[in-house]
Amino acid sequence: MPSQQEKLLAFSLDDIDRVIHSPARLLIMKLLYVLDGADMVFLKSETGLTWGNLSVQIRNLEDAGYVMVEKEFVDNKPHTVISLSREGRAAFSAYRDRLREILG
């Protein structure tokens, strides 16, 4: 029979957003949280991920509805700009709060 503390911990851990919880995606979400948008070069240089890995993680976040990938023109050059969606921003806030509760 699990103790009360174990039950609470199990509940808390189940409640953690697994999409954000991966280290690479957490780093991407954290960077995008403090910005209105960034391109792949910025995310690659900040995270140290390979292009392939970065693309996969961005696609996972996009599939979850947490990020938006848009083409923009910056000084007449096309740029792929990634930004957090409203859901992504809310999910990251909730993730931070949940983690803070667990860690105390």
Partner 1 sequence: MVSDLKVLERRVATRYMEDGFWDMYLGLMALAFGLTILLDVSYLTGVMVAVGFALQRTGKSLVTFPRIGYIKLRQARKTGMVSILSGVLILGLMIFMLFMLGDDNPLRAFVIQNMLFFIAFIWGGAVALAALSLNVRRFYFYSLLIFSAVIFSDLVGSLGLNLALAGGLIILAGLVVMLRFIRKYPIVSDQD
Binding site for partner 1 (CB under 8 A): 30-31, 33-46, 50-52, 74-75, 77, 79, 81, 83, 96, 100
Question: Are 70 and 55 a contacting pair, CB within 8 Å?
Answer: no
At 82, give phi and psi (nearest 5°): -105, 135
User: Can you read off the two tokens belonging to residue 3?
Assistant: 């103790």
Q: Please, what is the minimum distance in Å from the beta carbon of residue 16 to partner 1?
A: 15
58 or 81, CB closer to partner 1? 81
10 or 35, CB closer to partner 1? 35
Q: Please, what is the minimum distance in Å from the beta carbon of residue 75 to partner 1?
A: 4
6 or 48, CB closer to partner 1? 48
Residues with Cβ within 8 Å of residue 54, at least 6 apart in sequence: 24, 28, 40, 43, 44, 47
2 or 78, CB closer to partner 1? 78
Q: Please, what is the minimum distance in Å from the beta carbon of residue 8 to partner 1?
A: 21
Q: Please, what is the minimum distance in Å from the beta carbon of residue 2 to partner 1?
A: 29
Give the number of residues written for the chain: 104
